[in-house]
Amino acid sequence: MPPGTPAPDYGGLLASLPDAVIGVRPDLTVFLWNAAAEALVGRAATRVVGRGLADVFPPDARVVRHLTETLRLAEGRAEAESEVELAGGRTVPVSLQTAPIHGPAGGIIGAVVLLSLNAVGAFK
């Protein structure tokens, strides 16, 4: 970035993404929940951030399993045709992608999942 250029507004970037972005710490506590996650899951960030992922999704949900594996193996996961299981048994077709988050020293400090609505799966 050239000198004098303002730092990017990453919060604004995350808020404007059409895909749900959810970040968790190694203990699966949610620290990031963007506007698209609010719309997809139907829960405001203020009610989710700081809580365990199991308070938001069923414990055996794919998103929970993939984030757990991402943290354990320190490598991302992807499913082109997946689904997010929501409370009440409702499922939504999505593409799911996870990635580990590395700290300055290189260790895993969390993981992030990107959930994109899967229009193809919605019409199956």
Domain ranges of the chain: 18-109
- Other beta carbons less than 10 A from residue 52's beta carbon: 16
- What's the pLDDT at 121? 44
CATH T-level fold of 18-109: Beta-Lactamase (3.30.450)
Query: For a pLDDT cut of 70, what percent of the chain falls above it?
Result: 85
Mean pLDDT of 2-21: 76
